[in-house]
Amino acid sequence: MSGRLRGSASIVGLGQTEFSKSAGRSETRLAAEAIVSALADAGLPVESVDGLVSYTIDPVEETELVRSVGIPEVRWSSRVPYGGGGSQGVLLHAAAAVAAGVAEVVVAYRAVKARSGARVGRAEVSGRASSSHAGTTAGQWCTPYGVLTPASWMALNATRYMHASGATSEDFGRAVVQMRAYAAANPNAHFAGRPITLADHQASRWIAEPCIRLFDCCQETDGAVALVVTGADRAADSRAPVAVAAAAGAGVFEEEVASNHYRPDLSVMDSSVALAAQLFDEGGVGRDEIDVAMIYDAFSPILLMQLESLGFCGRGEAKDFVADGHLGPGGRLPCNTNGGLIGGGYIHGLNLTGEAVRQLRGESCNQVGGATTVLVTSSRTGVVLRRG
Amino acid sequence: MVTGDNEGFWSAAEEGRLVVQRCAGCRALHHPPRPMCPDCRSVDLGWEQAVGTGVVYSYALLHHPQHPAFEYPVVAALVDLDEGVRLVTNLVDVEPHQVRIGMPVEVAFEPTADGFAVPVFRPRGAP
């Protein structure tokens, strides 16, 4: 399988609701609002939509959504397994559908009430787990031991990573300080206007010792993001198309759902290694072409782990890469310029794709000058997007 | 959550035995147990008692959020059994901040509030 797409597909529309701690309306309405906004951005009528793609974890029923928005005919739809790690999989699905000619205008969306609804980070042991992972490896083998949340699943990997790399909580904190600095300058971020220092990070309470403090965690967020994907013909008419240059990885399940604790070396994210091979080596994109990166930072340790596993630095070198300021403005890999999931909010990773589109349109709050190629990854799925 | 594929593990634990799935086709050991051997695709699978010793591969002291069924911090750990498979588990009879990667441990069985038992681990040689 190759990350290189045979046909061409572009993102032509981006829409989102406000991100908040209490949306005060249903996920279906949030999705509908984001979709209508994305179509307006694309300059396409609702009636043009003939494809839908979201995630198995998404609570919105397609039937209710289609009837609410008034989409007359859906010819193709799909869902990417789970959510966060699969967040960029919707772009692969949409681009593949467009390339195959089974749909012309595909809407990819994620709507979530992760704070006012079923909180992702709350400890639950019921069969109806907060993050729909009952029956999976985590549900069966972690729950009996009180390992109940994504942070606690990930912590077992992160402690091993610290052991292998020598990275410390302060090293994770330096990445968080950068995410919060970007968020501070983004009026739409959860932590707009609220930067922190490394001392603030170190003073935040432990969630999972010795690797995850409160400030290492993403923000449980209410909101929705929608993207409109179409082929080259229609994209040529849109105001600011963004080409999907490479997309890969929707089927790499080894590490889903952040709970595969059985791989030989947990200090490496094997799915990111596989993803990088597809996007870069097979997809024909050079790592040195990436002007800006959006890397899934549900918890700060996995940001450093992905930097290494994607090949942007060597094993154990992410802590130095971060300390040297390479994620910040002017660095070698400005990263998560919306503030990431830690500072910006957590629409399960699809908000990182939105920020990638803004960078390529020159409309980011933390614009990287001359950005033409942006990488978006979430451990096992990823895309490379290009201007035009 | 007990399913047809993992029932043998939990029913053995209630009897105070730690078992690992053994494939009769290729003799590989697997944990977690699966309905098919991913190495040779055999469905002829059985249970084999483990010696019950291993080392800590990784750990985390879980402080928050808290659930009433557990005492905090929860000492969560990954233990590599001498047989070569890894378990998610808890460590007991150890001061949480004394836990280290590589620490030798041995199995013990902890009763649960609802009448089951789960295999946990304690430092090897602990009384």
My answer on whether B80 and B27 are in the same domain is no
For strand A206-209 and strand B53-62, is the pairing parallel, antiparallel, or unpaired? antiparallel
Judging contacts by C-beta atoms under 8 Å, the chain B residues touching residue A143 are 1
Residue B19 lies in a domain: yes
Residue B100 lies in a domain: yes
Nearest-CB residue to B1 (from A134, A148, A208): A134
Residue B11 lies in a domain: yes
Tell which wins on pLDDT, A132 or B82. B82
Whole-number mean pLDDT of chain A? 91
Q: Which residues of A touch B (CB under 8 A)?
A: 121-125, 127, 134-135, 137, 139-149, 152, 155-160, 163, 205-212, 214, 261-262, 266
pLDDT at A101 over 80: yes
Q: What are phi and psi of B103, to 5 degrees?
A: -65, 130
Judging contacts by C-beta atoms under 8 Å, the chain A residues touching residue B31 are 262
Tell which wins on pLDDT, A85 or A109. A109
My answer on whether B20 and B68 are in the same domain is no
pLDDT at A1 over 50: no
My answer on whether B67 and B119 are in the same domain is yes
Q: How many domains does chain B have?
A: 2
Q: What are phi and psi of B118, to 5 degrees?
A: -125, 140
pLDDT at A253 over 70: no
Burial label, B36 (beta-carbon count in 10 A; 0-12, 13-18, 19+) = middle
3-state secondary structure of A73: coil
Residue B2 lies in a domain: no
Domain that holds residue B24: 7-49
Residue B108 lies in a domain: yes
Q: Which residues pair with A208 in a beta bridge?
A: A212, B62
My answer on whether B28 and B88 are in the same domain is no
pLDDT tens by residue, A214-234 = 999 998 889 999 999 999 888
My answer on whether B70 and B106 are in the same domain is yes
Tell which wins on pLDDT, A255 or A197. A197
My answer on whether B45 and B58 are in the same domain is no
Is B78's CB within 8 Å of A261's CB? yes
Chain B segment 81-120 residues within 8 A of A by beta carbon are: 85-90, 101, 112, 118, 120
Look at residue B118 in the predicted model and tell me its pLDDT: 93
In this prediction, residue A131 has a pLDDT band, given cuts at 50, 70 and 90, of very low
Judging contacts by C-beta atoms under 8 Å, the chain A residues touching residue B85 are 262
Q: Which residues pair with A54 in a beta bridge?
A: A79
In this prediction, residue A323 has a pLDDT band, given cuts at 50, 70 and 90, of very high
My answer on whether B28 and B73 are in the same domain is no
Q: What are phi and psi of A382, to 5 degrees?
A: -165, 160
Closest-CA distance, A205 to chain B, in angstroms, reads 9
Look at residue A57 in the predicted model and tell me its pLDDT: 87
My answer on whether B57 and B38 are in the same domain is no
My answer on whether B78 and B109 are in the same domain is yes
Nearest CA in chain B to A147: B76
pLDDT tens by residue, A352-386 = 999 999 999 999 999 999 999 999 999 889 999 99
User: How far is the C-alpha of A134 from the C-alpha of A140, rounded, in Å?
Assistant: 7
Look at residue A132 in the predicted model and tell me its pLDDT: 45
Look at residue B44 in the predicted model and tell me its pLDDT: 96
pLDDT at A124 over 80: no
Look at residue A128 in the predicted model and tell me its pLDDT: 38
Residue B18 lies in a domain: yes
Residue B85 lies in a domain: yes
Across residues A91-96, what is the average pLDDT? Answer: 94
User: How far is the C-alpha of A183 from the C-alpha of A190, rounded, in Å?
Assistant: 7
Residue B86 lies in a domain: yes
pLDDT tens by residue, A272-311 = 998 999 999 988 899 999 999 999 999 999 999 999 999 9
| Torsion over CA: A3, A241, A218, A210 (sign) | positive
Inter-chain CB pairs, A–B, below 8 Å? 104
Nearest CA in chain A to B9: A141
My answer on whether B67 and B96 are in the same domain is yes
My answer on whether B41 and B96 are in the same domain is no
Is A266's CB within 8 Å of B58's CB? yes
Structure tokens at A332: 């070698």
Q: How many percent of chain A have pLDDT more than 90?
A: 75
Domains and CATH numbers, chain A: 10-117+218-387 (3.40.47.10)
DSSP B22-83: EETTT--EESS--SS-TTT----EEEEE---EEEEEEEEEE-SS--TTS-SSEEEEEEEETT
Look at residue A135 in the predicted model and tell me its pLDDT: 54
Does the active-site annotation cover A145?
Answer: no
ipTM of the shown complex = 0.95
My answer on whether B31 and B44 are in the same domain is yes
pLDDT tens by residue, A13-60 = 999 999 999 999 999 999 999 999 999 999 999 999 999 999 988 999
Is B58's CB within 8 Å of A123's CB? no
Does the active-site annotation cover A109?
Answer: no
Look at residue A254 in the predicted model and tell me its pLDDT: 55
Q: How many percent of chain B have pLDDT more than 70?
A: 98
